[in-house]
Amino acid sequence: MSAASRILNPALRSKIMSAEEAAALIPSGVNVGMSGFTGAGYPKAVPSALAKRIMDANVNGHKFRIGVWTGASTAPELDGALAMVDGIEMRLPYQSDPTCRKRINAGEMEYIDIHLSHVAQFVWGGFLGPLDVAVVEVAGVLEDGRLIPSSSVGNNKTWLDEADKVILEVNSWQNPALEGMHDIYYGTALPPLRKPIPILKSDDRIGDAYYRIDPKKIIAVVETDKADRNSPFSPPDVNSQKIAGHILDFLQHEVRKGRLPANLLPLQSGVGNVANAVMAGLQDGPFQNLTAYTEVLQDGMLELIKSGKLRCASATSFSLSPTALAELNADLPRFKDSIILRPQEISNHPEVIRRLGIIAMNGLIEADIYGNVNSTHIGGSAIMNGIGGSGDFAQRLHLHLHDAFHGERRQSFLHRAHGHPRGPHRTRRADHRHRTGSC
């Protein structure tokens, strides 16, 4: 299917232009909300064109910087390209780019390190200032102007709602069978109008399959045909397999004691090789009819769906290896009824996490014997990537398992809901400190 056939709305077809023309519509000094979550669904043409424009401005002696807001980490074509030309004034809420990290730690880039579930409501409340422009990748545009989400949702609904102007990238590389997989909830509100999130099970659908948008806000449409950034996972090594075995033994013990049901509680797994290896270890376990309520869907969960052990998985983004992604795209209708992609303010919502009683597995940088966990800073002051979504889950779940490297060994730590980790969490640009459960 060609990119042109993905844009079925005649008014929006008239706004098709090049990435360079679209980038020229973004002025210096604005805040830009961009799609993207763990290398999936990020805009792949406009950020690079904007970086070229910034570089040209720098050569001519003109400072050109913008605020960049995303769902989570993106890719070298976005974070890397803009950071390389010193084009980012302030970044939030999470990043994993080495150039961004270097500039943040050198004090050359402002960084707001906040829980992923907080970003949307901060924007709704105006706490971060105006959102001037949104640059969002979608998989297609319907005749009535509704937008088909791509391989991640993240904060895209909020960007489209709150931005003054919107630039769309319509990516024909994204599988058209993604249509219908998403659940975009439009029932959120600020206090005192806020209502409970009506999710009682991981596979509950409470929203729409499409983004809504006022077409008058769309100032440009850019056609692309580019793949997501997908990194391979290391095969599970002996230590990872041992950790998986210990976790399986523990979960079976909890089932025998009557503290967990036979099919456990919904699973959450953070990004990384070890968490993915633990998910893979569940293949050999006795548990059936599993469910997941998580941020990202990695290879291990996909394998559990294939084998029939995992009945459903709710997430906000894919984070798959190239091999797993090829398999997903080759047979996406097979997985469609088992996977739901939601906005991250719902996938990471503390109310829902507490209600469902999540069993979470995440990484850490360091921990002490009292259960204080640090997942954000090296040496107390140098940022690594950020708190991400681990804190959203750490304080509100049923069981929390942490994993870390120690020399040549990997170690695993367990926190129950009544003993969740608490530790200092510092945000740059803010003059306060607060405490958070992190992982």
What is the DSSP pairing of strand 423-426 with strand 433-436?
antiparallel
pLDDT score, position 132 = 98
Q: Quick one: average pLDDT of 232-239? A: 78
3-state helix, strand, coil in the chain (%, to 5): 30, 25, 45
Write down the pLDDT at residue 1: 40
Catalytic option among 295, 303, 327, 345: 295
- Across the chain, what does the average pLDDT equal? 89
CB 159 within 8 A of CB 191: no
> Crossing angle, helix 322-330 and helix 299-307, to 10 degrees?
40
| Residue whose entry in the numeric block shows the structure tokens 């990043």 | 95
DSSP 224-237: E--PPP--PPPPP-
284 pLDDT exceeds 60?
yes
**Region 302-317 average pLDDT:** 96
- Residue 295 annotated among the catalytic residues of the structure: yes
**Is the predicted pLDDT of residue 428 greater than 60, yes or no?**
no
Query: Which helix (DSSP H) or strand (DSSP E) does residue 277 occupy?
Result: helix 273-281
86: helix, coil or strand?
Answer: coil
C-alpha span between 303 and 360 (Å, rounded): 18
Q: pTM of the prediction?
A: 0.91
The per-residue pLDDT for 346 is 98
What is the structure's pLDDT at 230?
87
Look at residue 172 and tell me whether its pLDDT is greater than 60: yes
What token pair was written down for 39?
Answer: 């290398």
Q: Please tell me whether residue 50 adopts helix, strand or coil conformation.
A: helix
Whether the per-residue pLDDT at 81 is higher than 90: the answer is yes
Which of 4, 15, 13, 3 has the alpha carbon at shortest distance from 167? Answer: 15
Instruction: Please state the rounded mean pLDDT for residues 324-340.
Output: 94
